[in-house]
A and B are shown apart, each in its own frame.
Chain A
Amino acid sequence: MKHLIDIKDLSVEEIDELIKVAKDIINHKKEYSHKCDDKTLATLFFEPSTRTRLSFEAAMLELGGRTLGFSEAASSSASKGESVSDTIRVVGCYSDIIAMRHPKEGAPLVASMKSTVPIINAGDGGHNHPTQTLTDLLTIDREKGRLDNLTIGLCGDLKFGRTVHSLITAMSRYKNIKLVLISPKELEIPEYVKKDIIEKNNMQYVETTDIEEYMGELDILYMTRVQKERFFNEEDYVRLKDYYILNREKLEKAKKDLSILHPLPRVNEISTDVDDDPRACYFKQALNGKYIRMALILKLLEIK
């Protein structure tokens, strides 16, 4: 039995296969509509995330399966003090596969150590969010037709932004990836990501606080939200939340075929006047999220 806790759990070949299946689903939706007829997905969200939860549920429903679960810890037995391991063992009795989000880092790994059914990490604190990374990879592949030879700008909260860390980890396995790391000093990429992933894999990178400095060189611009829930201090959040606001003016120097990605939800970091720009891919990205999750559910349930 296989779980997906960290994007590193998947080989490059497995990621390629997932992308291939997701594209096949996009082109042959009906052929997949009964693949999970007798299967149940449990969505255990100990931390609210409507978007990710609905994406998982939509994915399972479109495969013909059923869903059950909870959307916040308050409506689960965790509020009574039950451990993650116990919750997982019980829910494993009622479902065939579990997607789990938890505010504490490492909780899905703990779950996978005790679970009798496959566990998908749907986000654990500021740590990992592998299905978002798969979504990002499918989007880049569909927009650019490749996952190598790309200059990728990552902008916003690079310190707590788990989507950024996971994306860098995934891209480190492809050839000739250049990173432009754009963040305020307080939200710079952590040293361990820089040393253990970027430098260890000889990835080229530059760091800047100016979103426009390297705009003309980017193939991908990955914007992120400064997340309130990652701060212990409200003052720090208020000071940093609107540090970057991408608008049409800032895109003047950008390439015509730039792809703008964002894991969503956005707050102010992308102005709505960018939404109609053909380079804005973030809503297409949300749709891709459903397809790659469908492919992942099939893989983990070993359904061809």
Chain B
Amino acid sequence: MNIDSIKNGYVIDHIEAGKGMEIYELLNLNELDCQVAIITNAKSKKTGVKDIIKIDRNIDLDFDKLGFIDPGVTVNVVKDDKIIEKKKLSLPEKIVNVAKCKNPRCITSVERELDQIFILTDKEKNVYRCKYCEMSLK
């Protein structure tokens, strides 16, 4: 299967197999009018299979959101057909409006205009807590 290489943009590589569509939706890539390719179950030496997303434009990519969904991804920044940077992502310290607090007692359950903010409180166990009520995200 051939997918065109991109001239200027991003290749989001090493996405955990099955998470490609989730990332596509959360980054609102459906709103772009440039070429976007999602490759699922691509062969991977490290993990057997992986997903890849190619975006043929230098958009303002939300690395925090991306790192939260899958901290194992690599983002290749492409300029004039060449990879000029490889970004290794990690869990962001804070995520805003990526996930919703499920605590029915949380103030965000009634005041919908508030930003949904989660803070990384335990890096080893990947625990995020709601900034307002401190309920764990998972």
Contact = CB atoms under 8 A, between A and B. Distances in A.
Interface of A: 83-85, 102-107, 109-110, 124-127, 192, 196
Contact of B105 (A83, A125, A192): A125
B28 to A, nearest CB: 27
B99 interface: no
A110 B121 contact: no
A84 B136 contact: no
Contacts of A102: 107
B134 interface: yes
Contact of B109 (A83, A104, A196): A104
B121 A106 contact: no
Interface in B102-136: 103, 105-111, 113-114, 121-122, 129-136
A240 to B, nearest CB: 18
Given A105-B105, A109-B132, 16 more contacts: A104-B107, A104-B110, A105-B134, A106-B106, A106-B107, A106-B108, A106-B134, A107-B107, A107-B132, A109-B107, A110-B107, A125-B105, A125-B133, A126-B105, A127-B105, A127-B134
B131 A105 contact: no
Chain A's interface: helix, strand, loop or mixed, by majority?
mixed
A105 B109 CA distance: 10
A127 B131 CA distance: 12
Interface residues of B, number: 20
B107 A84 contact: yes
25 contacts: A85-B111, A102-B107, A103-B105, A104-B105, A104-B107, A105-B103, A105-B105, A105-B106, A105-B107, A105-B135, A106-B107, A106-B108, A106-B130, A106-B131, A106-B133, A107-B107, A107-B132, A109-B131, A110-B107, A110-B111, A126-B105, A127-B105, A127-B133, A192-B134, A196-B121
Contacts of B130: 106
Contacts of A125: 105, 133
A26 B128 CA distance: 43
B111 A84 contact: yes
Nearest to B111: A83
A127 to B, nearest CB: 6
B106 to A, nearest CB: 5
Given A83-B111, A196-B121, A196-B122, A110 B105 contact: no
